[in-house]
Amino acid sequence: MVLRALLTWIGLMVVAIANGTFRQYVLLPAVGPYAGHVISSITLSLLILLIAWLSIRWINPTSIHQAWAVGVLWLATTVVFEFVAGHYLFQHPWSKLLADYDVRQGRVWIIVLLTTFVAPRWTAGVRRLFH
């Protein structure tokens, strides 16, 4: 189950990078930074839910605990990837990476992280994978 969850997470990251590219080159020029951030965060959250919906049977958590564990795994790997790749690969300063967590400044990235955490449990429950 863990390997399947990690493979699915890799797919999530490919989608997230594509979503970020779309935000940068299409949304931001069209609607500006704040609206682009919000639209992109909502879009990515919906894509995460869709991927969870499509993959949860394949991942095959057999209990609520396992479904939550997939969510924890996805959340932890996302945050680690965001900071490590964001800083070292994409050359973003730490201050920019941390700014995405400042909801007082209207940043809604936390919605994406909450969706990432909850999506496996929610989709497994809706798809009735455990009894």
Residue 56 Cα distances to 2, 48, 65, angstroms? 12, 11, 14
Contact between 70 and 1 under an 8 Å Cβ cutoff? The reply is: yes
pLDDT at 34: 93
DSSP state of 22: H
- CA proximity to 39, closest of 54, 52, 24: 24
Determine, yes or no, domain membership for 131: no
**CA atoms 39, 105, 17, 53: torsion sign:** negative
Quick count: other Cβ atoms within 10 Å of Cβ 123? 24
Residues of the chain with pLDDT under 70: 131
Determine, yes or no, domain membership for 105: yes
pLDDT at 100: 85
pLDDT at 128: 87
pLDDT at 45: 98
Determine, yes or no, domain membership for 59: yes
pLDDT at 65: 96
Determine, yes or no, domain membership for 37: yes
pLDDT at 119: 98
Contact between 16 and 41 under an 8 Å Cβ cutoff? The reply is: no
**Which residues span the domain enclosing 38?**
2-126
pLDDT at 90: 87
Determine, yes or no, domain membership for 10: yes
pLDDT at 131: 63
Determine, yes or no, domain membership for 17: yes
pLDDT at 130: 75
Provide the number of structural domains found in the chain.
1
